[in-house]
Amino acid sequence: MNFRLDGKIALVTGASYGIGFAMAKALAEAGAKIVFNDINQELVDKGLAAYKDAGIAVNGYVCNVTDEAAVAAFEKRVREDVGIVDILVNNAGIIKRAPMLEMSVEDFRQVIDIDLNGPFIMAKVFLPGMIEKGHGKIINVCSMTSELGRETIAGYASAKGGLKMLTKNICAEFGDRNIQCNGIGPGYIATPQTAPLREKGADGSPHPFDNFIINKTPAARWGTPEDLAGPAVFLASDASNFVNGHILYVDGGMLATIGKVPS
């Protein structure tokens, strides 16, 4: 029963589809009331339809997580419509791939703004409600690139490395208020965001990066959004009440090995 979330309100940002949707669905199945947001009405409507098809009652809102005033108004509306949030999942994020010397400063700043400043703003605005309730859970969706760099993702890796440290700092600052802040670090997950890395060539041959990931991962496959469901429920539930400032990597074992020797 420590894994049940009955009576809890969970807010998952950017949860219209993909990883966010899979985590929100898992939290709902564990008993939580789900709130989500996205950047525009089209995506919110897409999410509302997906949750309806899954038989999940949700409240969906348009909100830009990088706009502090908009997030404050969002928090007030959620309080009025649903109640004070118990669980905040900072999932909203983007990636822009380009060699560092070709990446514009504007693109770099946009990735940092959404992937790092957004979780900071969301936590800053929603933490007072958790303090008022006397408990709270914050789950930041980090990445293996919180630990490892790779070519073409300077902005993303910088943001996710910063998000790892924001996670630890929230733990340090609010742990004595019965608030646990942890991260989930997905490995390579098969989502629309990573679809270009799995595209087959004109002759039907696998993308070189697809081969690389499968050979580098002990599980010998890409992850799925559903692979993040159990970790999300654990970190949102009372089962993790003494787990704080931790990044739970869900990567099929990739971070545990330097990879196989090519045959």
Who's near 111: CB < 8 A, 6+ residues apart?
94, 95, 96, 155, 156, 158, 159
Which token pair is 37?
A: 């947001």
For CA atoms 255, 225, 188, 71, give the dihedral sign: negative
Which token pair is 107?
A: 């693109």
Annotate 15-51 with b (16+ C-beta within 10 A) or e (fewer): bbbbbbbbbbbbbbebebbbbbbbbeeebbebbbebb
The single residue of 51, 61, 156, 249 carrying the catalytic annotation is 156
**Is position 188 annotated as part of the catalytic site?**
no
CB 49 within 8 A of CB 252: no
Task: Read off φ and ψ for residue 97, nearest 5 degrees.
Answer: -100, 125
Element (H, E) at 47: helix 41-53
Who's near 263: CB < 8 A, 6+ residues apart?
none
Question: Which are the catalytic amino acids?
Answer: 156
